[in-house]
Structure formats: structure tokens, C-alpha cells
């Protein structure tokens, strides 16, 4: 009973998110898809195809955990803004400070901001941008990623990780950085905050700013490739990694070879 009720709730929340973020914008590429699979991007944003393999119940619950954690962290940053930008009433601010809920870092935070790159037909939503209070045009960009212990360990193991595994995350962040840069901001630093869902460990990885230009080249190549039609199967780009096909919402439509 509880599982079904929760499943129905997740379907409602997913539809709310789709309408809020993507309804009427189906033709744009999603920044979060950078570096994963060119064919998936084609089905999603060029053909605007209906997914043939929607997430199963387990996957939906896992994604919801990530969404809740994102919201919690972003709410904490909004609270920080309220404390140090005098948005709350003085007596509330005083009580919060007396409880030592946080300390001042001389920054302001923006959360869940949209970026658009019309020339590349890309849009997306960054997680966090911090601004130094003394330099409003200089920002640091952050993306929050939740992961299980196995994946978390791979991220920080020089022996297990392959350079290709993190490329999607780096290109995604670089895409957001490109959007901010084209809006006239100076992106001083980009980082990914990885959160281990199993033991709550948090670690920050600084992403080189070279991925801003790398993202621009990537999306330019996607536009060029898609102008010629549906890309063929090419391991490294369609898909980037073998595991991607197992989670793809267009797997039946795509019909990848057995090796994928």
C-alpha cells in the first residue's frame, strides 16, 4: 500500500517538474546530457520522441532522494543569505546567530538558476553560484551530485577511475559555466560536491575551467553531427560508456547492439 501511494506521488512530482522546466522547451538540448550519448540527445531534443523506457520504481525513488538532498542543501544556502543579508527580522536573525547555526563567509548564493545558450540550442539549471560580496561579477559555480558508496569510491580512486567516467559531470558543469560567462560573469572556479548517500560523506572536486571551452566545442560538434541526421553507434560518443544504455529512456527505440 505505502509503496504504491509513494509511487503515485513520485509520478505527480515528476510531471510537475517536467511542466515547470521543460514544457514548451522540448527542442532545447539538456545541459545535463553533455557527454553521455549523442543518439539519446537526438531522440530527446531533435525528434522530441516519447520515451520508451521510463524509469522503474526503484530508479524513481533513488532519484527522489537526490532531489530532496539537493533541495536541503540549497535551502541551507538560502537561510545563510537570509541571515547575512538582513532579509529576516532582526530578532530572528539574532536568535539564529546566537544558536551558532553558521558563520559568515562574505558571500551570497544563487540557487537553481537557468542558463540558455541560443547559439548552441542548450539550456539547463545550475545548482549553486556563490558571489563574493566585494566582487559581484566574479562567481564560483557548484554542482551537487549524490552517489552510492561504490561510485563514490571510484570517483576518488586513481586506480579504479578512468578519465572518461567523470567527463559527463565536467562537461555539464562547463556548460553552466559557459552560460554564466556569456551572461557577463567571470567564473573564478567550478566545483562538484559529491555526497555519499550511504554514509553522508561530502567531498569537493575542483573542475578545471578548461571545461568551459571544452563544453562549447562539445555542443558545437553535437549540433554539427545532428544536422546530418541520427548518429550511428560509436562507442565513446554514442554512447560514451556501456552502462548508459541500461538507464536510457529511449533504449527500445534506439535498439543498441548487444555489446552496449
Residue 35 has pLDDT above 80, yes or no: yes
119-146 pLDDT, tens digit per residue, is 999 999 999 999 887 777 889 999 999 9
Q: 169-183 b/e with 16+ CB inside 10 Å = b? A: bbbbbbbbbbbbbbe
133: CB partners within 8 A, 6+ apart? 106, 107, 108
Asked if the model's pLDDT at residue 93 lies above 70, the reply is no
- Give the mean pLDDT of 184-208: 93
Cα–Cα dist 76/72, whole Å: 6
What per-residue confidence (pLDDT) applies to 17?
A: 87
pTM for the model: 0.89
pLDDT at 29 over 60: yes
φ/ψ bin of 57: left (φ > 0), alpha (ψ from -120 to 50), beta (otherwise) = alpha
The CATH architecture one would assign to domain 25-58+105-227+236-254 is Alpha-Beta Complex (3.90)
Angle at the Cα of 45 (from 242 to 193), degrees rounded to 5?
60
**Mean pLDDT for the stretch of residues 23-48:** 93
pLDDT at residue 89, rounded to an integer: 46
Greater model confidence, 57 or 82: 57
Mean pLDDT of 217-227: 97
4 vs 135 pLDDT, higher one: 4
For the chain, domain boundaries: 25-58+105-227+236-254
**pLDDT higher than 60, residue 160:** no
User: ∠ CA 121-56-173 to the nearest 5 degrees?
Assistant: 35
What is the per-residue pLDDT for 85?
59
- β-pairing, 122-132 vs 107-117, is antiparallel
CA 258 – CA 217 distance, rounded (Å): 30
pLDDT at 162 over 60: no
The whole-number average pLDDT for the span 189-216 is 94
* Average per-residue pLDDT for the chain: 87
Amino acid at each position: 500500500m505505502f509503496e504504491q501511494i509513494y509511487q503515485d506521488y513520485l509520478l505527480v512530482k515528476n510531471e510537475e517538474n517536467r511542466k515547470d522546466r521543460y514544457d514548451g522547451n522540448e527542442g532545447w538540448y539538456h545541459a545535463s546530457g553533455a557527454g553521455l550519448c549523442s543518439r539519446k540527445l537526438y531522440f530527446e531534443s531533435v525528434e522530441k520522441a516519447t520515451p520508451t523506457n521510463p524509469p522503474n520504481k526503484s530508479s524513481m525513488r533513488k532519484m527522489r532522494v537526490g532531489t530532496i538532498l539537493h533541495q536541503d542543501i540549497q535551502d541551507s544556502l538560502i537561510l545563510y543569505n537570509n541571515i547575512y543579508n538582513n532579509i529576516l527580522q532582526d530578532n530572528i536573525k539574532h536568535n539564529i546567530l546566537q544558536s551558532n547555526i553558521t558563520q559568515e563567509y562574505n558571500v551570497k548564493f544563487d540557487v537553481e538558476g537557468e542558463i540558455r545558450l541560443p547559439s548552441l540550442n542548450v539550456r539547463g539549471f545550475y545548482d549553486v553560484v556563490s558571489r563574493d560580496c566585494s566582487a559581484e561579477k566574479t562567481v564560483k559555480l557548484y554542482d551537487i551530485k549524490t552517489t552510492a558508496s561504490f561510485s563514490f569510491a571510484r570517483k576518488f580512486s586513481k586506480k579504479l577511475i578512468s578519465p572518461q567516467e567523470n567527463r559527463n559531470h565536467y562537461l555539464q558543469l562547463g556548460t553552466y559555466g559557459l552560460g554564466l560567462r556569456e551572461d557577463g560573469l567571470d567564473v573564478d572556479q567550478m566545483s562538484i560536491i559529491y555526497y555519499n548517500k550511504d554514509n553522508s560523506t561530502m567531498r569537493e572536486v575542483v573542475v578545471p575551467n578548461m571545461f568551459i571551452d571544452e563544453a562549447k566545442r562539445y555542443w558545437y560538434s553535437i549540433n554539427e553531427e545532428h544536422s546530418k541526421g541520427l548518429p550511428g553507434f560509436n562507442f565513446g560518443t554514442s554512447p560514451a560508456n556501456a552502462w548508459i544504455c541500461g538507464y536510457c529512456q529511449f533504449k527500445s527505440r534506439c535498439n543498441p547492439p548487444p555489446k552496449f
